[in-house]
Amino acid sequence: MSCLKDLGQNIVLCKKCDLGSMGTNPVLGEGPADSKIMIVGEAPGANEEKVGRPFVGRGGKLLRKTLEKFEIKNPYITNVVKHRPPENRKPKKEEIIACSDFLECEINAVKPHVILALGKTAAEYFGIKSRLSEVNGKIFEIKGIKVVACYHPAAVLRNTNLTDEFNQAIGQAKMAL
């Protein structure tokens, strides 16, 4: 039986790292369990924690608008880490490791053809160590899945010069489907 069935409850109960132990609301992945594409971000921010859904803030709006532009329909959207790190700091290595069973469950259950890894934390999770300026839009084959490295939408909001490259990476993900 799919591990997705108990995933939500397991995440809610998880105390494997300090983030889980702080008692804040986790943000679960969402989307069809048979989606062809999985979008993986870093960790929820304040808006996501409030609403309990991934990518609902300004970066999320940019992401969702760009996915629509490329007619990428019904993606499964999730994050490397399911609880919001305080002050939106980057998740620590031990937090990423503590949360990795959940993302692995999602990947094994959804079996996406393509994963769009948004930002450095997600790219590094999949073993992509180079700078995003070098790998944005490149496709890596990881355990039989095409992983496309892509700038994080928050980085694009901070520096709109990255818009074309962001679009290019999402276009690559569409073509790889």
Please give the angle made by the CA atoms of 81, 83 and 87, to the nearest 5 degrees: 105
Residue nearest ligand URA (C-beta atom): 41
> Which residue from 7, 14, 17, 48 is in contact with ligand URA, where contact means CB under 6 A?
48
Residues in binding contact with ligand URA, number by CB under 6 A:
12
Binding mask 51-80 for ligand URA (x = CB under 6 A): ---xx-x-xx------------------x-
42 binds ligand URA (CB under 6 A): yes
How far, in Å, CA of 32 to CA of 149, rounded?
Answer: 22
Closest CB 59 distance from ligand URA, rounded Å = 5
> Of residues 41, 75, 112, 137, which one binds ligand URA by CB under 6 A?
41
Q: Is 95 in the site for ligand URA (CB under 6 A)?
A: no
Q: Nearest approach, Cβ of 27 to ligand URA (angstroms)?
A: 6
Q: Is 45 in the site for ligand URA (CB under 6 A)?
A: yes
Q: How far is the CB of 1 from ligand URA (least distance, A)?
A: 27
* Side chain identity, residue 140: F
Residues that bind ligand URA (CB under 6 A): 41-45, 48, 54-55, 57, 59-60, 79
